[in-house]
């Protein structure tokens, strides 16, 4: 079974600084998708960024970027110029066909 591991239950970053959230996954497949989702307190889960496994280039979305290491099965999220609104639970997710798995989540606190 595919598993997704987020080893950092909590992270903290100073406003305007950069933070990296870690994620590793286990799969025997070569074609799959990886995602980072953000869930603010009491609010809806939204997609932050996605990565197709067949693409070598790391995905970027404004201040959010990933470091995708396929051989190492690692998929970290870097948030640059952190803002107070970035405070949330962040979930790493793996998907192949109908199988989608989520990590346990990392709670990010942003200090003013």
Binding site residues, another protein, CB under 8 A = 33, 35, 37, 43-47, 50, 89, 91, 93, 95, 98, 100, 102-105, 107
Alpha-carbon distance of 97 to 86, in angstroms, equals 30
CB of 57 to another protein, least distance (A): 15
Q: How far is the CB of 39 from another protein (least distance, A)?
A: 9
- Specify the residue, 67 or 100, whose C-beta has the smaller distance to another protein: 100
CA-CA distance, 101 to 96, in Å (whole number)? 9
Contact 77, 66 (CB under 8 A): yes
């Amino acid at each position: 079974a595919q598993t997704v591991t987020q080893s950092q239950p909590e992270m903290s970053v100073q406003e305007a600084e950069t933070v990296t959230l870690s994620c590793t996954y286990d799969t025997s497949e070569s074609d799959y998708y990886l995602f980072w989702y953000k869930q603010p307190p009491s609010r809806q889960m939204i997609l932050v960024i996605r990565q197709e496994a067949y693409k070598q280039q790391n995905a970027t979305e404004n201040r959010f970027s990933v470091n995708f290491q396929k051989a190492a099965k690692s998929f970290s999220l870097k948030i640059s110029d952190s803002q107070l609104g970035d405070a949330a639970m962040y979930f790493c997710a793996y998907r192949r066909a109908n199988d989608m798995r989520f990590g346990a989540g990392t709670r990010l606190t942003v200090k003013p």
